[in-house]
Amino acid sequence: MSRKKTEEVAAFLIAAGIDAAYYHAGMPSDERSKVQEAFIKDDVKIICATIAFGMGIDKSNIRWIIHYNLPKNMESYYQEIGRAGRDGLNSDTVLFYSVGDLVLLSKFAEESGQPEINREKLLRIQQYAEARVCRRRILLNYFGDNFNRNCKNCDVCSDPPKVSDGTTAAQKALSALIRSGECIGINMLIYILRGSQNAELLEKGYQHIKTFGLGKEHSFETWQGYLLQFLQLGLIEIAYDDGFSLKVTPYGMNVVKGNQKG
């Protein structure tokens, strides 16, 4: 995430006997060129770099992309991991992140020209990092590619958590979302499902829809967990250009109709 950190990590690796170099935009151009050339020729195996390095690299046999910090959004992450395995052979990606990353990236989002959108995008990459469902499904569904099976390759698929059939919960949530006009966010959807007497809910008349209170057996936190997974699995999506309201995807509609399980 920072120029200083690239130098610190490279120094740490070198001290441990690992062949490494650093690269960032603050270096003299001739030094950057030397590092890049050494990497292309396999004279240096590991480069600790800011994203300024990856953007200009055309090297087919990169075996690892390791994120030392959390990327600012899913778009950046997808582009950056795409540098690995261009020769078609197996490659790996590893993502590390910390609370400190979130604090700094949140600051960047607040200072950007589109703070609301960038905050939401940061939240999505955080959710990806903390996911307990197939990460390939999350990544591809984020970009609108309806990938509704597990990849059997990511860490979650390799060491899967215990799961249960969430079809009934999904049908309740998606039905409530549809009946509300798909113009609400996660919190309001949970208020509807739990039969809340929230003032805004009552003002908008959501207490009169058929699914009001249909999910009161679950706590607010449980519904948050369900909806996060529905989002990750591609049953719903967030319309960034429509007040961050939730929308039911075609896959989600099939679950509502009973054509597919959630």
The residue with greater pLDDT, 64 or 102, is 64
DSSP labels for 112-155?
A: SS-HHHHHHHHHHHHHHHT-SS-HHHHHHHHTT----S--S-SH
Helix (H, G, I), strand (E, B) or coil at 250: helix
Nearest to 196 by CA among 207, 204, 205, 211: 207
Residue at token pair 């799961």:
163
> pLDDT digit string (tens) for 231-256?
878 899 888 778 889 999 999 999 99
Give, in degrees to the nearest 5, the angle at Cα 230 between 262 and 78.
Answer: 120
The per-residue pLDDT for 56 is 65
The per-residue pLDDT for 155 is 94
The per-residue pLDDT for 148 is 84
> pLDDT digit string (tens) for 185-209?
999 999 999 999 999 999 999 999 9
Domain assignment present for residue 24? The answer is: yes
Domain edge (last residue) among 43, 59, 75:
59
Give, in degrees to the nearest 5, the angle at Cα 30 between 27 and 36.
Answer: 80
The per-residue pLDDT for 54 is 65
Percent of the chain with pLDDT over 70: 98
Domain assignment present for residue 55? The answer is: yes
Domain assignment present for residue 133? The answer is: no
Domain assignment present for residue 145? The answer is: no
The per-residue pLDDT for 262 is 63
Domain assignment present for residue 138? The answer is: no
Instruction: Give the structural domain span for 4.
Output: 1-59
Nearest to 262 by CA among 151, 171, 173: 171
Domain edge (last residue) among 39, 59, 79:
59
CB atoms within 10 A of CB 75: 14
Q: Give the rounded distance of the alpha carbon of 251 from its chain centre.
A: 19
CATH number at residue 54: 3.40.50.300
Domain edge (last residue) among 20, 39, 59:
59
pLDDT band at 147 (very low <50, low <70, confident <90, very high): confident
pLDDT band at 65 (very low <50, low <70, confident <90, very high): very high
Q: Give the span between the Cα atoms of 256 and 168, in whole angstroms.
A: 9
The per-residue pLDDT for 232 is 78
Domain assignment present for residue 214? The answer is: yes
Q: Are 70 and 95 in contact (CB under 8 A)?
A: yes
Nearest to 233 by CA among 140, 153, 125, 95: 140
- The average pLDDT across 65-79 equals 94
The residue with greater pLDDT, 58 or 64, is 64
Domain assignment present for residue 34? The answer is: yes
Please, which contacts does 64-67 make with residues 24 or more away whose CB atoms are closer than 8 Å? 64/91, 64/92, 64/93, 64/94, 65/91, 65/92, 65/93, 65/94, 66/93, 66/94, 66/96, 67/93, 67/94, 67/95, 67/96, 67/97
CB atoms within 10 A of CB 27: 17
Total domains in the chain come to 2
Reduced to 3 DSSP states, what percent helix, strand and coil does the chain have, rounded to the nearest 5?
A: 50, 10, 40
> pLDDT digit string (tens) for 14-62?
999 999 999 999 999 999 999 999 999 999 999 999 987 866 677 999 9
Domain assignment present for residue 146? The answer is: no
CATH number at residue 179: 1.10.10.10
Say yes or no to pLDDT of 103 above 90.
Answer: no
